[in-house]
Chain A
Amino acid sequence: MANTDFLLQFQEFEDDQGFTENNQGATTVTIDDPIKSRKQRKATGTSFEEEDNDDKTELLSGEKKSPPFWTFEYYQTLFDVDSHQVKNRIVGSILPWPGKNFVEVYLRSNPDLYGPFWICATLVFVIAISGNMSSFLVNYGQPKFKYVPDFRKVTMAATAIYSYAWLVPLALWGFLTWRNTKITCLVSYSFMQILCVYGYSLSIYIPAVILWIIPSEGLRWCSIVVALCLSGSVLVMTFWPAIREDKPRITIAITSTIVILHALLAIGCKAFFFSTYELDHTEPLTTKAINNNSSINAN
């Protein structure tokens, strides 16, 4: 009788404080006040305006678990950006600001695939269209030249740009991950973030390519140098925190590889798509173009 009464009656447990006092090895988890953490981030960050949307997505993304990569929802999380966020990311990739790391400031933990994909697509079509237009303009006065739109430029440009935008980040991520096993580094980027940075850094080439329609060599080289300086410095400043703790030889090697590959893309596109006027022309401009091409081929 007493046994069943004991089972049926409600039992009070001991107070929690007695529990934790006895257990010295217990770990306690405190959840930060969201307002406090936002203020902390403001204090350590830079002095530009912060959008609440970015903060909210940062907080929320820490709590939701990512869906598996074979579902549609996983790819929806990669397109979780608004118009003004994309605009800010493009502006941030064009104008390098010392101290503002692109990944920290603009991407946070929300890299997107919209920007890289559509910037590459725009660049492909702009290169093809500008290449056709420049060859048309150069050969305009000649009677025996008949303008035929060259559609193969689109496929070639697409192959070149997309392989640059996907393979170089893959190689860089693999290399950085391998170095992370040798030296511990505070900053490590995920593959999506590196992909995002490279995609947005190609956006400066769109106005540069439009400028290449004008058949003036000086203007073309000038625009290449300006575009390269701007986006190259954004890239270098982004990856500097990840590689500065390494041996200086490796640091210099990675930095120069990034810049050289970026330059090679621009110069390669220019040489391949915009040098069609050396075929029939007899002006001295032609010899300069041939010299440029031969010097590029010799590299």
Chain B
Amino acid sequence: MAEVEESNKPLFAGLSDISISEDIPVEGDISVPVGSQNTDNDFSTLDEPVKDTILRDLRAVGQKFVHVMYPKKSSALLRDWDLWGPLLLCVTLALMLQGGSADSEEDGRPQFAEVFVIIWFGSVIITLNSKLLGGTISFFQSLCVLGYCILPLTVAMIVCRIVLLGGASVVSFAVRLIVVTASFSWSTFASTAFLADSQPANRKALVVYPVFLFYFVIGWMILTFSPSQ
């Protein structure tokens, strides 16, 4: 074994002769990026009045409403998602669908909890479905888009209640049918415009169909709503 070491020694002997010449200049600057002052300003929102805080969130929600009503291919809904808008819309819709009094014994009209569960549970299942099919959108982004696209249906609900104030006749039914159909297709189209890009091309129909079913069921609940006298 000693012979092996002796044979190895000449190989590494020359390494000690290598030296870095002092002629090579070393350049560059070492600096710490000074951004800490800006971030301190962003995070210290404790000092601002409460009105500013609330208005900032409301403005963000309102801006997303505008994006839903005019669905261009913008990524604002996807980039900064929030769940305030969907919560607001879901609670409004569930309250209006509840109808108020539970007087009759055969009251099979959907309760608040049922509508709430259908909307949120349905959104979660559709999101899981699109993720399982290989979508690239994240979980909360998809929930955000599906929730915000309920806005046309909520508007239709308000319109239906106003129409029903004038009595329940065939004409009012026809008007409500047209309004609900238009808003349901608007919702489906708006959410498809946001969600379809994140899916592989040969599975788009598989992702769009559950969204269609979801809004169809909500539209059906709105259409068959009859106020209790």
Interface residues of chain A, those whose CB is within 8 Å of chain B, are 1, 4, 75-76, 78-79, 81-84, 86, 114, 118, 121-122, 125, 129, 132, 146-153
* Chain B nearest CB, measured from A196 CB (Å): 15
Indicate if the CB atoms of B129 and A114 lie closer than 8 Å: yes
- B101-124: CB near A (< 8 Å → 1, else 0) gives 000101111110010000000000
- The prevalent SS among residues of A at the interface is helix
A-facing mask of B208-228, CB < 8 A → 1, else 0?
011001001100110011100
Q: Decide yes or no: A114 and B133 within 8 Å by CB, A81-B206, A149-B224 being known contacts.
A: yes
Q: Which residue of A lies closest to B224 (CB)?
A: A149
Q: How far is the CB of A52 from chain B (nearest CB, A)?
A: 13
A125 lies within 8 A of B132 (CB): no
| Residues in A whose Cβ lies below 8 Å from that of B206 | 81-83, 86, 114
Residue of A nearest to B200 (CB): A82
Contacts of A79 in B (CB 8 A): 129, 132-134
Once A and B bind, how many residue pairs between them come within 8 Å at the CB atom?
Answer: 64
**Chain A residues near B221 (CB, 8 Å)?**
149
The 9 closest A-B pairs by CB, nearest first: A150-B108, A79-B132, A83-B205, A149-B224, A151-B110, A82-B202, A151-B108, A79-B133, A152-B108
For the complex, is B73 an interface residue (Cβ under 8 Å from A)?
no
Q: Which of B174-217 contact A (CB under 8 A)?
A: 202-206, 209-210, 213, 216-217
Compute how far the CA of A72 lies from the CA of B217 in the bound complex, rounded to whole angstroms. 29
Return B133 CB to nearest CB of chain A, in Å.
5
Q: Are B110 and A149 in contact (CB under 8 A)?
A: yes
Determine the chain B residues whose CB is within 8 A of the CB of A86 once the complex forms: 206
> Quick check: is B4 within 8 A (CB to CB) of the other chain?
yes
With contact pairs A146-B226, A149-B221, A149-B225 given, residues A118 and B110 touching in the complex (Cβ less than 8 Å): no
Q: Can you list 22 A-B pairs, Cβ within 8 angstroms, ordered by A?
A: A1-B3, A75-B132, A79-B129, A79-B133, A79-B134, A83-B202, A83-B203, A86-B206, A114-B129, A114-B132, A114-B206, A118-B213, A121-B213, A132-B224, A147-B226, A148-B104, A149-B109, A149-B110, A150-B108, A151-B108, A151-B111, A153-B108
Contact of B203 among A76, A82, A152 (CB under 8 A): A82
Q: Which residue of A lies closest to B229 (CB)?
A: A146
1/0 contact trace for B89-108 toward A, CB 8 Å? 00000000000000010111
CA distance A118 to B106 in the complex (A): 30
Closest CB-CB distance, A299 to chain B, in whole Å? 28
Q: Which of B202, B205, B213 contacts A125 (CB 8 A)?
A: B213
Q: Which residues of B contact A147 (CB under 8 A)?
A: 224, 226
Set A76, A121, A148, A151: member contacting B226, Cβ < 8 A: A148
Which chain A residues border B209 with CB–CB below 8 Å?
Answer: 118
B111 CB contacts on chain A under 8 angstroms? 151
Q: Are A76 and B213 in contact (CB under 8 A)?
A: no
User: What residues of B have a CB within 8 angstroms of the CB of A78 in the complex?
Assistant: 132
Which residues of B are found within 8 Å of A4, using beta-carbon distances?
A: 1, 3-4
Extra contacts, 11 of them, besides A75-B132, A151-B111 (Cβ < 8 A), are: A83-B203, A83-B204, A83-B206, A118-B213, A121-B213, A125-B213, A148-B104, A148-B108, A149-B224, A149-B226, A153-B108
Do the beta carbons of B107 and A148 come within 8 Å of each other? yes
Q: How far is the CA of A91 from the CA of B123 in the complex (A)?
A: 28
- On chain B, the residues within 8 Å of A81 by CB distance are 203, 206
User: Which B residues touch A114, using CB under 8 A?
Assistant: 129, 132-133, 206
- How far is B110's CA from A153's CA once the two chains are assembled, in angstroms? 11
Which chain B positions have C-beta within 8 A of A76?
132, 134
Given contact pairs A4-B4, A129-B220, A147-B226, A118 touches B210 in the complex (Cβ within 8 A): yes
Shortest beta-carbon distance from B34 to chain A in Å: 42
Give min CB distance, B132 to chain A, whole Å: 4
Per-position 1/0 for B1-20, Cβ under 8 A of A: 10110000000000000000
Q: How far is the CA of A122 from the CA of B217 in the complex (A)?
A: 10
A260–B2 CA distance with the chains assembled, in angstroms: 88
Bound form: Cα–Cα A86–B111 in Å: 35
- B168 → chain A, closest Cβ, in Å? 9
What residue of chain A has the Cβ atom nearest to residue B132's Cβ? A79
Choose among B4, B108, B133, B202 the residue that contacts A149 (Cβ–Cβ < 8 A). Answer: B108
Residues in A neighbouring B225, C-beta threshold 8 A: 149
Q: How far is the CA of A129 from the CA of B110 in the complex (A)?
A: 13
Complex Cα–Cα for A241 and B133 (A): 32
Contact check: which of A83, A84, A148 meets B109 at CB < 8 Å?
A: A148
* Docked complex Cα distance between A75 and B226 (Å): 42
Q: Which of A118, A125, A151 contacts B114 (CB 8 A)?
A: A151
Quote the shortest CB–CB distance from B88 to chain A (angstroms): 23
Minimum C-beta distance from B201 to chain A (A): 9
For B226, the chain A residues whose CB sits under 8 A away are 146-149
